[in-house]
Amino acid sequence: MRQVYAGVMSGTSLDGVDAVIADFSPAAGKPCLLLAAAQVPFARDLSADLLALQRPGIDELARAGRAANALADTYADAINMALGRAGLAAADIVAAGVHGQTLRHRPDEGWTLQLNNPARVAEKAGVAVVADFRSRDVAAGGEGAPLVPAFHAALFGGNAHRVIVNLGGIANITDLPAQGEVRGFDTGPGNILLDLWHARHRGAAYDRDGAWARAGRVDGSLLTALLAEPFFARTPPKSTGRDLFHGDWLDAKLAGRAIAPADVQATLVALTARTVADAVALHCALATEILVCGGGAKNAALMGALTAALAPRSVATTAAHGVAVEHVEALAFAWLAREALAGRPGNLPAVTGARGLRVLGAIYPR
What size, in residues, is the chain? 366
Asked if pLDDT for residue 32 goes beyond 80, the answer is yes
Domain ranges of the chain: 4-144+327-364, 149-321
* Sheet containing strand 170-176, strands side by side: 183-189, 170-176, 162-167, 289-293, 314-317
Give domain 149-321's CATH number out of 3.30.420.40, 1.25.40.10, 3.40.50.970, 3.30.110.70.
3.30.420.40
CATH 3.10.310.40 fits 4-144+327-364, yes or no: no
pLDDT tens for each residue of 311-329: 999 999 999 999 999 999 9
Q: Say whether 149-321 and 4-144+327-364 share the same fold.
A: yes
DSSP alpha helix (H) spans, 53-102: 60-86
* Sheet containing strand 129-131, strands side by side: 33-41, 16-23, 4-9, 95-98, 129-131, 362-364
Q: Give dist(CA 322, CA 317) in Å, integer.
A: 9
Tell me, what's the pLDDT at 326?
94
pLDDT tens for each residue of 247-298: 999 999 999 999 999 999 999 999 999 999 999 999 999 999 999 999 999 9
Nearest in space to 273 (alpha carbons), one of 328, 203, 226: 226
Average pLDDT over residues 342-363: 97
Specify the range with the lowest mean pLDDT, choosing from 5-14, 106-115, 208-217, 294-303: 5-14
Tell me, what's the pLDDT at 4?
97
Q: Which amino acid appears at position 315 of this protein?
A: V
Tell me, what's the pLDDT at 27?
67
CB 328 within 8 A of CB 113: no
Q: Give dist(CA 17, CA 74) in Å, integer.
A: 7
Asked if pLDDT for residue 9 goes beyond 70, the answer is yes
Tell me, what's the pLDDT at 30?
73
Query: pLDDT tier at 1 (50, 70, 90 boundaries)?
Result: low
Asked if pLDDT for residue 231 goes beyond 80, the answer is yes
pLDDT tens for each residue of 160-209: 999 999 999 999 999 999 999 999 999 999 999 999 999 999 999 899 99
Beta bridge partners of 105: 112
Asked if pLDDT for residue 29 goes beyond 70, the answer is no
Asked if pLDDT for residue 28 goes beyond 80, the answer is no
pLDDT tens for each residue of 98-150: 999 999 999 999 999 999 999 999 999 999 999 999 999 999 999 999 999 99
Mean pLDDT, the chain, integer: 95
* Secondary structure letter of residue 300 according to DSSP: H
The burial class, CB within 10 Å (0-12 / 13-18 / 19+), for 366 is middle
Asked if pLDDT for residue 93 goes beyond 90, the answer is yes
Tell me, what's the pLDDT at 90?
97
Judge if pTM exceeds 0.85.
yes
